[in-house]
Copies of this chain bind each other. A is one copy, B any other.
Amino acid sequence: MRGTILYGAHDVRCEEVPEPQIVRPTDAIIRLSASCICGSDLWPFRGLNEITSPLAMGHEYCGIVEEVGNAVTTVKPGQFVVGSFCLSDNTCPHYRFGFQSSCQQREFMTGAQAPLARVSLADGTLVATPEIPSDDLIPHLLAASDVLGTGWYAADAARVQPGSTVAVVGDGAVGLMGVLAAKQIGAARIIAMSRHKARQELALEFGATDIVSERGDDGVARIKTLTNGIGADAVLECVGMKESMMQAIHSARPGAMIGYVGVPHGVELDGQELFFSQIGMLGGPAPVRRFLPHLIDLVLQRKIVPGKVFDLSLPLADVAEGYRAMDERRAIKTLLRV
């Protein structure tokens, strides 16, 4: 089959790779209905993470179960499933606490920018839908696998409540999903920080009530003005850079939580500054599995349309163009037809 391999900075290729096989009895093989490119794939693509050997790319997936290992009991061939980008058992304490992304057996999904993929820990990781969903729902279900689940976790970690005033830093796909999540949870006011017209429009469609196009200190000042000098009750940091984290911290009111889901790159935090700003923080790889049943349900009931975040759809053969389009911010998120 054809799969996606990253060889080095800006060198990603669609090429012949071996078909995945059941390796352990807890594995499943999935025939993907679609795949996509994640904002986090851009870190190694840009050379910001070291690449020591070729990487099989892709960690977002949904599709039909082809085959399962002997120990798998909760899904079976022919079922449609969505899984998290973090693979997790369904038994360890972290799983039970709802932090499946820190599961004692955690693995990160790889190789899903391809028509077939192996999912280990299938029982813990996969959620089957009651029936095979119609084709138009596929992008929305695919989004649940990571980008929607991650935006949702940002809102959950930031303790968004009904009535909250929420600020979202980052207008990438995850930030836009954070806007959608905050809206679903019942936030009264959702301030999206974005300077890109198409992303602003999508943010408004997903539920943003205000757009702030300024950045840095000016952006913080705008948020303070919009909140009568108080700051936001909850801030979603969906970038992972020093500037965005500082913007999040300075936009929050004392006692607020920041949910941060962009993998921090070059972010150092001064303990005393955090202390006196009295801002709470919780981040990490999103425990998407905790939210999956609810998110799938919202999609199947057609209450949310997270797949609108895919503004470019390409055949797998053109995966390199998909990366370039996102890298150059010509596309928010690329869906891959596998």
Contacts and interface: CB of A to CB of B under 8 A. Distances in A.
A278 B245 contact: no
Contacts of A99: 253-255, 278
B274 A281 contact: yes
A69 interface: no
A272 B265 contact: yes
Which secondary structure characterizes the binding site on chain A?
mixed
Contacts of A263: 272, 275
Contacts of A269: 268-271, 274
B157 A280 contact: yes
14 contacts: A94-B230, A94-B254, A97-B253, A97-B255, A245-B271, A254-B284, A264-B271, A274-B281, A275-B284, A277-B284, A278-B283, A279-B282, A280-B281, A281-B281
A272 B264 contact: yes
A53 interface: no
A274 B277 CA distance: 18
Contacts of A228: 93
Nearest to A282: B280
A285 interface: yes
A84 interface: no
Interface in A214-270: 228-230, 240, 245, 253-255, 257, 260, 263-270
A91 to B, nearest CB: 13
A101 interface: yes
A98 interface: yes
A195 to B, nearest CB: 24
A194 interface: no
A102 interface: yes
A267 B278 contact: no
A286 to B, nearest CB: 10
Contacts of A268: 268-271
The list of the 4 closest CB pairs from A to B, nearest first, reads A267-B271, A264-B271, A102-B254, A278-B284
